[in-house]
Structure 1
Amino acid sequence: MREPAAKMSTPMTKWAKKKLHRKSNKSCCYRVHPINLYEYHMVDGYLNRFVNLIEKTCTYRKFLLDQLPCRHALAACNFRRSSCYDYCSYYYHKETLATAYASSVYPVGPMHERDVSDDMQSLVVLPLKCH
């Protein structure tokens, strides 16, 4: 993962960029009404949405949950001609991904050559119960 992260040509991870692209296709038809420089009122069909770019919130709640601009926030970014990347969590940025894989990763070797304490060997790990 270290090499792909270093070779990325965009400031965002591929996953985040793809998700933003899908959302931006839906954001082009909203009516955007600025309240101030960072707050906007969106008309989404018959629904009203409010976006705050500084707080990274929208009444749609996806902006806060995903830490990526929702389609309403993307419409606000387009309206003010600013980069939506500025409003994405740093977890989705290329530098964060590259930093996560920057440390050395040493091979551990075959299981029979590892020095594992008796306490660790006696542990029983049960599978998750899915309901």
Structure 2
Amino acid sequence: MNVFTICSDRQKGLLQAVPTVFSNCYHSYCMRHLASNFRSDFKDLLLERLFRRAARTLRESVFKETMEKIKAKNERAHKWISNIPKENWASFYFKGDMYDVLTTNRSECFNAVLKDARKLPITSLVEHTRHQTTQFIQKRQKLGSSWHTKLTHYAEERIESSLRESCQYTANRVRTHEFEVKSLETTNSVDLITRMCSCRAFQTYGLPCGHAVAAINITEFDPYDYCDECFDAERYQDTYVEVVHATLDRTQCHESPEPLMTILPPLAKRPPGRPRTRRTDRELKG
């Protein structure tokens, strides 16, 4: 069974529902919603920035240092954050794959598209959704077909950044697949088989970090050999290869030989208390 990650705003029973329904997944809490709730309680921009820094850092030392700064400035804020399991919001402690995605912004974009359509009748709502989905796929088909690189533009930019960064490192082979990568200030360990670096960027982003590229450069391999398949331009194009076909109007639809099923509305709920009787007050007195 595949293990995947769900990012949510923790609302409307999701804290109980996600581990029950998706017991094989990791649950990430949306940082935008957490920061919004934090801002409502403390109204301190510096504290919020420290909170976001603690969420994004990939080094445990930086996480602990940032949390201590929050505690020194406001102990109540530190307690508020500490009451949220760090395994669900802090990048360093999160066990699943996040790819540097800490918010539900992508799903919120879909909600925004359908915002005005929610008031439409159901058939119009479905047709509006189909039309928007068609445009969404069409746009990405055109974008993907314009690429002539091995990876998506996002991944290509990250690889270029890692290539530039690798120039400042010196890599030494420890054994066949393990390397020690040094700079003037830091030393990191890279394992090419597990695709892990002690800086945690390699395994978090799914793309070689600068340390990993420095290690790869002294092998016969290429940095592109160590990128997650989800970043392949060809995979992106395959994602949007299908289309949502147009809906025919009723005059062009074939009548079904099966009898139509009548779906009745749900029964109205009875008001609380004893059921009413038809007896009048006079009958009760008699």
TM bucket normalised to smaller: 0.7 to 0.9
The answer for the alignment partner of 2:180 in structure 1 is 41
Answer yes or no: is 1:26 the counterpart of 2:165. yes
| Distance in structure 1 (CA, Å) of the matches to 2:176 and 2:142 | 39
RMSD: 2.1
TM-score, reference length from structure 2: 0.36
* Structure 1: distance between partners of 2:169 and 2:246: 52
Runs of 4+ in 1 over 2 A off after TM superposition: 105-108
Structure with the greater relative contact order (CA < 8 A, sep ≥ 6): 1 or 2?
1
Query: 2:144, 2:183 → 1: CA distance?
Result: 36
- Aligned equivalent of 1:50, options 189, 193, 198: 189
Shift of 1:103: 0.9
**C-alpha displacement of 1:36:** 2.2
Amino acid in the other structure paired with 1:67: G
Partner of 2:228: 89
Number of residue pairs the alignment of both structures matches: 111
Decide which of 147, 158, 171 is 1:8's aligned counterpart: 147
Kindly state the Cα deviation for residue 81 of structure 1 after the two structures are TM-superposed. Answer: 4.0
Q: Percent identity?
A: 26
Partner AA of 1:30 in structure 2: Y
Matched residues in 2 for 1:38 and 1:5: separation?
34
Map of 1:62 onto structure 2: 201
* Structure ID, larger Rg: 2
Following TM superposition, by how much is the alpha carbon of 1:7 offset from its aligned partner in structure 2, in angstroms? 3.5
Inter-CA distance 76–107: structure 2 relative to 1 (3 Å threshold): farther
Gaps of at least 5 residues in structure 1 are 109-118, 120-131
1:11-53 residue CA offsets vs partner (Å, 9 max, x unmatched): 1111100111012111112111011232110112231100011
Aligned partner of 1:79 in structure 2 is 218
Instruction: Decide which structure has greater helix share.
Output: 2
Which letter maps to 1:64?
A: Q
Aligned CA distance change for structure 1 residues 107 and 66 (closer, same or farther; 3 Å) = farther
In the superposition, the TM-score normalised over structure 1's length comes to 0.76
Q: Could you tell me which amino acid in structure 2 is paired with residue 18 of structure 1? A: E
Gap runs ≥5 in structure 2: 1-139, 248-264, 266-286
